[in-house]
Chain A
Amino acid sequence: AQSVTQPDIHITVSEGASLELRCNYSYGATPYLFWYVQSPGQGLQLLLKYFSGDTLVQGIKGFEAEFKRSQSSFNLRKPSVHWSDAAEYFCAVTHMEYGNKLVFGAGTILRVKS
């Protein structure tokens, strides 16, 4: 069955430090991959997406993600975290081969300490 794993439930980083949030997927074909962010009490906002081509994709708010087929991973990175980045981050996966189902990981809560 298709699945998405975010191994880290919580991550705490200092403001100005670098960040990497992990995402692994289990799909037969190379899926379409997304990262979303959710601030407390808010809806979901798209950070970036990968469909094909360059495996390093740039998103909004200074985020980037790298698709690694060999590791079935799509990790989210940011070189320098700001206090306003504190939120919950979700990785999501879909593919037309699987009926266009859109599946999310369990999320990673990011805390930023000053």
Chain B
Amino acid sequence: NAGVTQTPKFQVLKTGQSMTLQCAQDMNHNSMYWYRQDPGMGLRLIYYSASEGTTDKGEVPNGYNVSRLNKREFSLRLESAAPSQTSVYFCASREQGGTEAFFGQGTRLTVV
């Protein structure tokens, strides 16, 4: 009963390095989301995918790209990491309509 699985859990990058955060869900949900959480700012939506084959920008998409690889997987890529991208990243999935989101345990990313 895995739910939403994020990898890695922790990561330290140097400025300018690239990396991909992986997210997979086993609940057959149509919609998937990537958020970043910073103190005092709540969860800010980076990108989301309402259904397989579609992706849309959220509130803070700059510096990120996403891929909805299939219905299960939604990855977030940092092409050239910056210290401002130091944050905790959460992936979530849900069915469409009035259903709640289920969250992964988060990835704590530090860019030095």
Residues on A facing B (Cβ under 8 Å)? 6, 9, 32, 34, 43-44, 46, 49, 51-52, 90, 92, 94, 96, 99-107
A43-B40 in contact (CB<8A): no
Q: Which chain B residues lie closer than 8 Å to A102 at the CB level?
A: 31, 33, 45, 48, 92, 94, 101
**In whole angstroms, how far apart are the Cα atoms of A59 and B70 in the complex?**
33
**In whole angstroms, how far apart are the Cα atoms of A32 and B99 in the complex?**
8
B69 within 8 A of A: no
Residue in chain B with minimal CB distance to A9: B40
A-B contacts, 12 of them at CB < 8 A, read A34-B100, A43-B104, A43-B106, A44-B43, A96-B97, A100-B31, A101-B45, A102-B33, A103-B59, A106-B41, A107-B40, A107-B42
B96 within 8 A of A: yes
